[in-house]
Structure 1
Amino acid sequence: MSNHSEASAAPVAPVEAFEPPYYVSVFTAVRTQDQSGYRETSARVEDLVKDVPGFLGMDHAQTPGGLSITVGYFRDADALTQWRRDAEHRAAQQRGQAEWYQSYTLHVAKVERSHGFTRPDDAEGRV
């Protein structure tokens, strides 16, 4: 799983490229001013999704202007459906609509092509 918490000491890296096909869930949101309880709920939801068979990982990003993006990677549609139906996840979604999100979009897609790149450590810092 990629880095999410601001206090994380692990290096920042994207979730690896997986052998297609697999599925992605792209959640893009703008949050409200009142974020009471958001961090705790977000951490709990991240722990829950790790237990879903077929969950591959998650990436997070946030712009300085407040747009946040979370991409979840799932081996198959059944894994994504199991996550969508999880009772605690659904409760967190309802609380998000009531309290934490000004607006959001969710996009689900089947990945047909995937590749990645990592610079070798010995080339770091060279121009």
Structure 2
Amino acid sequence: MSKIARTLETPYYAVIFTSTRTLGDNGYENVGDKMFEMASKQKGFLGAESVRDEEGFGMTISYWDSLESIDIWRNNVSHMKAKEMGKKMWYSKYMIRICKVESDNYFETPL
């Protein structure tokens, strides 16, 4: 997930998840990979971008075609279990924001 997500025509929605991790992996990477795989197969998923620094601060932005698609993912049973594990083991704090993307602009240097 280290590349810039190529989204479709605007408007679409962005779910911005910022977090601070606790120490140790405690199964985090494995569950995170499974959640990304599941989300990417869900109808309405457009892509995602994610970064984390050495101090444990991270940001994941997922892109969706509608608020309904976001709501379906929010209520996915496996995702709900992962969120509970996150509160208990993986995050000291987090924030979720949902935004409507009205415009975007992509640039890439020609080879």
TM-score (normalizing by structure 2) = 0.94
Unaligned runs of 5+ residues in structure 1 are 4-12, 122-127
Q: Which runs of 5+ in 2 are unaligned?
A: none
> How big is the shift at 1:110?
0.6
Give the deviation of 1:114 after TM superposition.
1.0
The residue that corresponds to 2:110 in the other structure is: 120
Runs of 4+ in 1 over 6 A off after TM superposition: none
Structure with the greater alpha carbon radius of gyration: 1
8 A Cα contact 1:30 1:102, kept in partner: yes
Give deviations 1:7-65, integer Å, cap 9, x for gaps.
xxxxxx31124311100000000000132111110011011101210100000012233
Which structure carries more relative contact order (alpha carbon 8 Å, separation 6+)? Answer: 2
- Give RMSD over aligned pairs: 1.1
Identify which of 105, 108, 125 aligns with 2:98.
108
Aligned-residue sequence identity (percent) comes to: 27
Counterpart amino acid of residue 61 in structure 2: V
**Alignment size in residue pairs:** 111
Relative to total residues, which structure has the larger strand share, 1 or 2?
2
1:15-94 to 2 correspondences below 5 Å: 15-94=5-84
